[in-house]
Amino acid sequence: MILLYAILAILIQPILEAVQNAYKPEWNPVVRKLNPVTRLAIASVWFFAVAIPFDDYYVPIWKLITGYVFVAFMIYDTVWNLTSIICGKKISIWYYGDSKWYDRVMTQLAEWGWMMKAILGIVGIIHLWG
């Protein structure tokens, strides 16, 4: 259940950001400033409302935090790209931008970056699984 709720909490951010980017691109400067706060707020709600009070079994806090971060790293870009494609943008599912530092680094890493995402995502899933 921790993994399911983590994935649902992670999905909120890229879907909302991609829809906003597709329909209200003039809001991008504001959204870029609010994104870290929004991500932290969603992660905090998940952490304190779902992960900590979960009584079925014990998962160490460091596994909850790293698992959440790794799963978010794995699915964020793909969900953002899929949502943008659904909203009508003409981009590839493997698309990275060119304005942010993260996008430029991941573009240079190419396939190795996607492999790193997959490996860290699997580790994150295992951490949240229990």
- Convert the pLDDT of each residue in 81-121 to its tens digit: 999 999 888 888 888 888 789 889 998 998 898 999 999 99
- Convert the pLDDT of each residue in 54-92 to its tens digit: 666 677 888 889 999 999 999 999 999 999 999 888 888
CA atoms within 13 A on the CB side of 124: 22
Question: What is the rounded distance in angstroms from the CA atom of residue 125 to the CA atom of residue 6?
Answer: 10
Cβ(79)–Cβ(14) below 8 Å: yes
**Encoded tokens for 38:** 């929004």
Domain locations along the chain: 6-20+35-45+65-129
> What global pTM score does this model have?
0.82
